[in-house]
Amino acid sequence: MDERHTTNKKQIGIIAFQGGVSEHGTLCRTIGLEARPVRAIEDMRGLTHLIVPGGESTVIGRFLLQTGLKDAILDRWKQAGLYLFGTCAGAILLGKNASPYSLNCIDVVLDRNAYGSQLHSFSKNIKTTLGDESFPAVFIRAPKITSAGEGIAILATHEGNPVLCEKNRVLLSTFHPELTHDTRIHNYFLFDMK
């Protein structure tokens, strides 16, 4: 096991109302770290990293609002250095303007369902800045990132649109790394993001 695992004090949470919760948990476990489900403000205690999974952004967003987690997440991100990773619906929620429930914590505008319906879901090997080997990216009713503001680091694109990007401890992917066995993006989130 990577020695970073034995010395770290990471506490990982996954927003667990709906969507790809267990898949993210499994990938974290593959890396050697446990992640716990987050459904209430109390579950946020001590978290250093929080994953907002794919699923249905309207459903997840409504729960975030009703439980007070939306404000708690923003607060811990701003005040306590919490790292955030949103995949697909999670990216819609962390980014700007794509949903009435968006947290607007990264200057990235997304267009929901921009590739079409479930039938237009697809998988594609894409190049990323995380290594020479391409990444098997699974897009399921994915959003498109239509604009990325100043200083956003773009780690991968597909047909000219960013699909993996980050700034200020917020990482977004419009595809689903948790549906693969490739741990590189989760490793990046958990260990390498500044």
Q: 16 vs 53, 61, 97, 154, 173, CA distance in Å?
A: 8, 12, 23, 27, 18
β-strand partners of 50: 13, 84
Is 174 a binding residue for ligand GLN by CB under 6 A? The answer is: no
Is 89 a binding residue for ligand GLN by CB under 6 A? The answer is: yes
Is 67 a binding residue for ligand GLN by CB under 6 A? The answer is: no
Is 124 a binding residue for ligand GLN by CB under 6 A? The answer is: no
SS3 sequence of 5-37: HHHCCCCEEEECCCCCHHHHHHHHHHHCCCEEE
Is 112 a binding residue for ligand GLN by CB under 6 A? The answer is: yes
Is 88 a binding residue for ligand GLN by CB under 6 A? The answer is: yes
CA distance 14 to 43: 10
Is 178 an active-site residue? yes
3 state DSSP class of 118: helix
Is 150 an active-site residue? no
Point out which span in 4-12, 29-37, 88-96, 147-155 binds ligand GLN (CB under 6 A): 88-96
CA distance 11 to 45: 9
Closest separation between CB of residue 1 and ligand GLN, Å? Answer: 31
Question: For binding to ligand GLN (CB under 6 A), which residues are involved?
Answer: 54-57, 88-89, 92, 112-113, 140-141
**Residues carrying an active site annotation:** 88, 176, 178
